[in-house]
Amino acid sequence: MFFCSISGEPPQDPVVSQKSGQVYERRLIVKYINENGTDPITGDKLEESDLITVKANPKSAAPRPPTATSVPALLQTLQNEWDATMLEAFTLRQQNNSLRQELSVALYTQDAATRVVARLMRERDAAREALASVSATMGVSAPSANGDVDMAETQEAGGIPEGALKQINETHETLSAARKKRKAPAGHATVAEVKTFTAKHSIPSLHSSSPAGITSIAVSSSSPSQFLTGGNDKIVQLYDRSTDKVLASLKGHSKKVNHVAFREREGEPTLVLSAGADKIAKIWSHDSASGEYLPKHTIRTHKGEITGLAVHPTSTILALSSTDKTYSLHDLNTFDALFRSPESDEPFTALSIHPDGALFALGTPASTIQIYDVRSGAVAASLAPPESTPFTINTLSFSENGYHLLAPGSLSSLAIWDLRKLKVAQNLSLGDGFKVNKVAYDFSALFFGVAGNEGVRVFAHKTWEELVRFEEGGEVTDFTFGQAGKEIWGTSGRDVRIWGSA
């Protein structure tokens, strides 16, 4: 055995210098020659071509590393390998015990669940037998026991309960009697004032930035500085404009919120209502003691996305429409379901209640508007615009005098329906690029607005004159008229913009 003249260790690839006869590790001597060009021992000039490879016997064993050249070093190596093997075995044993415990818990849980299901099935069968016995004694037929009863459908056959029906009729009689004499209240905004509206205030960065966007807005009538917003972030937010503070962030939806509304009635707590793409509607109630809004009820009647939400003029009934082709009515005092309609031919995509409370309109993706009688659930009229290209009726608004219905007339126009003649009184073109997101009449029925991808526009009723338009905020997803019609509140992105007199 020989050693490298540079490193002093046995070389892995030995070479011999022709000039000095010294043995080197090839990689070391080549590096030295490239840097110096001489033999490291004699100092004579040396080139790589002067190196001769030493060919060892192929059966020769490679030299041992320094750590394995003695018995103590070998014993230490073996000890380390043994320790590593024992630690690995111990770890595997612990993992095995943990898996056995998890399996035991899972089996116990499954056994308990099976026992509960079996007990419930026994109780169900006993209840059915008792019901059949009572029915036989009374001489009436028991309901079929082929399947479980769908609680959401129980109100469908019986119609609206008598108590709720009485409230609807009384409200209708009171409001319809005063409708012909209805005038704009004193101090309400005039057409001339609307023409002077400009941007007044902007509230930025509401709701979460992911996913961003406000989808709906509602302004309080009892506290005009407070407003609700629903967003793509699944949150309902209550904001006070006077203090520029978020009063409440109400969570409970699992998908975007489509609609929000207040239920404000003298002598009763304020309710916050919301409906979303997650097929549910939520109800929160204001607690006077804590000053907070507490969750009261979740409505799970519908099997499709909820596309319309409105509070009936009685202030005790909530109406919902859904893409599952049904609409429903709910009691806001007891939170009971009052009525759910049979399935229609088309999904419902918008909802608006007549100011007298006897009728409500439902939009469809087939361009038609179905007007129903709230009391009977029967179709009172079906309106179809002259536009031949099908489009979705995504928004509706009755005028406050009850004579007209505002709706999209096409993909980029407005139709004002005369409900006395059941025909379009006027069709207003908004331009080929305009996409309608929301339409609304003000309380006086002297003017109405439309929001879309090109901002907000306000028109005078009957003269159809465009009074003002606001385009600085870009697309407006929802808007509403403020107190006395003196302001317009709109949602654009994550901002709420307010327009009014300077």
391 assigned to some structural domain: yes
Kindly state whether residues 194 and 312 are assigned to the same domain: yes
87 assigned to some structural domain: no
Kindly state whether residues 46 and 177 are assigned to the same domain: no
φ and ψ at residue 133, rounded to 5 degrees = -65, -45
Last residue of a domain, one of 41, 58, 75: 58
Domain of 19: which CATH number? 3.30.40.10
1 assigned to some structural domain: yes
| 330: CB partners within 8 A, 6+ apart | 281, 299, 301, 317, 318, 319, 320, 336, 337, 338
Last residue of a domain, one of 58, 75, 103: 58
Residues 323, 478: Cα–Cα separation, whole Å: 20
Kindly state whether residues 53 and 169 are assigned to the same domain: no
CA dihedral 386→388→394→397, nearest 10 degrees, is: 0
Q: Which of 194, 226, 215, 225 is nearest to 448 (CA)?
A: 194
103 assigned to some structural domain: no
Q: What range defines the domain where residue 44 resides?
A: 1-58
CA angle 393, 396, 402 (to 5 degrees): 140
Q: Extract the runs of DSSP E, i.e. beta strands, from 108-256.
A: 198-203, 214-219, 226-231, 235-240, 245-251
Token pair for residue 470? 């606001």
Residue 159 pLDDT > 80: no
Residue 169 pLDDT > 60: yes
pLDDT tens-digit readout, 22-42 = 999 999 999 999 999 898 888
Average pLDDT over residues 443-448: 89
Residues 118, 236: Cα–Cα separation, whole Å: 41
Which residue type does 422 have?
Answer: L
Element holding 127 (H helix, E strand) = helix 71-138
27 assigned to some structural domain: yes
Q: Which of 410, 473, 400, 495 is nearest to 185 (CA)?
A: 400
Q: Which of 395, 416, 414 is nearest to 405 (CA)?
A: 416
Kindly state whether residues 265 and 414 are assigned to the same domain: yes
Using pLDDT thresholds of 50, 70 and 90, give the confidence band for residue 364. very high
Q: Who has greater pLDDT, 109 or 157?
A: 109
Q: Which of 335, 321, 332, 399 is nearest to 364 (CA)?
A: 321
Q: Name the residue with tokens 């596309």.
A: 307
Using pLDDT thresholds of 50, 70 and 90, give the confidence band for residue 51. very high
Average pLDDT over residues 205-227: 91
pLDDT tens-digit readout, 74-86 = 888 889 999 999 9
Write down the pLDDT at residue 152.
Answer: 40
pLDDT tens-digit readout, 283-338 = 999 988 888 899 999 999 999 999 999 999 999 999 999 999 999 999 999 999 99
pLDDT tens-digit readout, 2-14 = 788 888 888 888 9
Which residue type does 286 have?
Answer: H
Which residue type does 207 have?
Answer: H
| Count: domains in the chain | 2
Token pair for residue 100? 């056995």
281 assigned to some structural domain: yes
pLDDT tens-digit readout, 180-196 = 667 777 888 999 999 99
Write down the pLDDT at residue 449.
Answer: 96
Say if residues 43 and 37 touch (Cβ distance below 8 Å): no
Element holding 448 (H helix, E strand) = strand 447-452
Write down the pLDDT at residue 289.
Answer: 86
243 assigned to some structural domain: yes
Q: How many CA atoms lie within 13 A of 313 on its CB side?
A: 24
Using pLDDT thresholds of 50, 70 and 90, give the confidence band for residue 387. low
Q: Who has greater pLDDT, 246 or 66?
A: 246
114 assigned to some structural domain: no
Mean pLDDT of the chain: 88
The neighbour count for residue 283, using CB atoms within 10 Å, is 20
Residue 17 pLDDT > 80: yes
| Rg of the chain over all Cα atoms, to the nearest angstrom | 40
Domain of 486: which CATH number? 2.130.10.10
Kindly state whether residues 390 and 254 are assigned to the same domain: yes
Of 124-138, 217-231, 361-375, 476-490, give the lowest mean pLDDT range: 124-138
DSSP code at position 411: T
Kindly state whether residues 183 and 37 are assigned to the same domain: no
Say if residues 164 and 172 touch (Cβ distance below 8 Å): no
Residue 62 pLDDT > 70: no
Q: Is the peptide bond before 10 cis (omega within 30 degrees of 0)?
A: no
Kindly state whether residues 176 and 54 are assigned to the same domain: no
Last residue of a domain, one of 28, 58, 88: 58
Average pLDDT over residues 244-256: 93
Kindly state whether residues 182 and 52 are assigned to the same domain: no
Residue 140 pLDDT > 80: no
Distance from CA of residue 248 to its chain's centroid? Answer: 18
Backbone region of residue 21 per phi and psi (left: phi > 0; alpha: psi in -120 to 50; beta: other values)? left
Percent of the chain with pLDDT over 70: 91
